[in-house]
Chains A and B, each alone.
Chain A
C-alpha cells in the first residue's frame, strides 16, 4: 500500500533516493552558487519542492536530472529574490577557502579557485559534463541550447581554466 500523500516511489524509497543523491546535489549547487551556505539552502529548498512534486517523477532513473533542474531553477529564484549586487570573485574565493583548499594537493586547490573565476555560462555546462556525467546533448536539453553552443562553452571553459592555472597553452587551438 502506498503511503498517504506519497508518489510513485513511496516515502522511504524517495527518501533513500534523495539521501543517495544529496552529495551530488550539494556539489552541483556549490559550483553553481560558489557559496556553501547558499548551496545548502538551495538544496534544502529543492528537496522540499521535490517532495511536494514527487508525483510528477514517474521514473526513478530520472530523479537526478529532475532534481538538478529544480536546483538550477531554485538558485535562479534565490538570485532574483536577493537581487545580488556584483560580487568580487576574490571575495568569494576567500569566503570559501576552507572548501577550496581542502586537499593535500596544491594544484587541486588552485584549480578550484580557477573554476570559481569562470563565467557562469561556462562553469555550469562544465560541471554538468565532468561532475554529473551529462552528454553534450543532455546539457543542451537541460540548458535549452544547441549542441554547438554547448560545445563552444565547454571548449572556452577548459581553455580559460588552463590559462588561469598557468598551464602551457601554447599548443591549445584558437577558437
Chain B
C-alpha cells in the first residue's frame, strides 16, 4: 500500500503520470486528494509560464537558401520585473482548488479550454451563419497542412483557417449545423486524458481526446445548444475527421 509521502513524491515528479497505484491511493485519501488539486493547479500555471511568447518573426523564410533564418531580434530594452505580488490571492485560489479531487486530469485541459475560448475572440467573423461552404481547395489546404482530411459525410464547413495556437498551426473550422454554427479546432499537439467540458465567456464546448492525435475542441456560442447536443456534434465531427499517416 502506497504511503502519502510516496504518493506526493511521485506526484511532484510527474503530475500527469499517475500510476494505478497512485490512483488507488488518492481515491481513498482526502489529504492527498486535496494536495493533488493544489499541485495540478500549480502545474497548469507552469505550463502557461513555459509557453513564452515568441517574436512574430519566427517564421522560416520560404526556401532553404536563406537557410531557415528568422531575423534575430533587436536588443531588448532593459526593464525591471514588477515587484512580487501578494500571494494571498493565489493561496486562496489554491485552497478552493484543493477541494476538488476531479482536478486530476482536468486542469491542463482547462487551461487549454481557456486558450481555445481566447482564440475565438481573434476571429469573430468566423461565426457568421451561412449556407455558403468554404472553397474545397482552401479546406483541403488547411486540413492537409495538419495531415488530416474530412470524410465526405462531414457537416458543411463555412469557414476554414490555419491558425497559430499555443505555438502550433492548427485547423480552425466552423461547421453549420441545424442548431447553428459550431467551431472545431483540430489540436494534434494538445493531449487531454479525457473529455473536458467548459462554459466560459459565452462559449460552451468540449475538448475530446483523439488517441494518438492529440485532441479536438468543439464549441458553440450563445447557449443555443445544451451540453448534450455539443457532445453529440463532437462525436459526429470526430468521426468525420480522418487522420492521415
Contact = CB atoms under 8 A, between A and B. Distances in A.
A171 B12 CA distance: 12
A40 B49 contact: no
A111 B9 contact: no
A172 B47 CA distance: 20
Interface string A140-154: 000000000001101
B72 A40 contact: yes
Contacts of A108: 45, 48-49
A94 B50 CA distance: 17
B69 interface: yes
Interface residues of B, number: 56
Contacts of B81: 93-94, 97, 100-101, 109-110, 113
Contact of A37 (B5, B52, B72): B72
A86 interface: no
Contact of A23 (B13, B54, B67): B54
A162 B46 CA distance: 10
Interface in B114-142: none
A88 interface: no
Interface string B1-36: 000110011101110010000000000000100010
A1 interface: no
Most buried by A among B13, B67, B72: B13
A102 B17 contact: no
In the complex, which range does the number of interface residues on chain A fall in? 35 or more
B12 A173 contact: yes
A74 interface: no
Interface string B84-113: 110100110010000000000000000000
A20 B169 contact: yes
B203 interface: no
Contact of A127 (B17, B50, B64, B75): B50
A129 B13 CA distance: 10
Interface of B: 4-5, 8-10, 12-14, 17, 31, 35, 38-39, 42-43, 45-54, 58-60, 62-64, 67-70, 72-73, 75-82, 84-85, 87, 90-91, 94, 145, 167-169, 191
Interface of A: 11, 14-16, 18-20, 22-24, 26-27, 30-31, 36-37, 40-41, 44, 47-48, 51, 93-103, 105-113, 115, 127, 129-131, 133, 135-136, 151-152, 154-155, 158-159, 161-162, 165-168, 171-175
16 contacts: A20-B168, A27-B50, A37-B72, A41-B72, A100-B81, A107-B85, A108-B49, A111-B46, A130-B43, A131-B50, A136-B14, A136-B17, A158-B12, A158-B42, A161-B46, A168-B94
Q: Which 3 A-B pairs have the closest CB atoms?
A: A47-B68, A23-B167, A111-B49
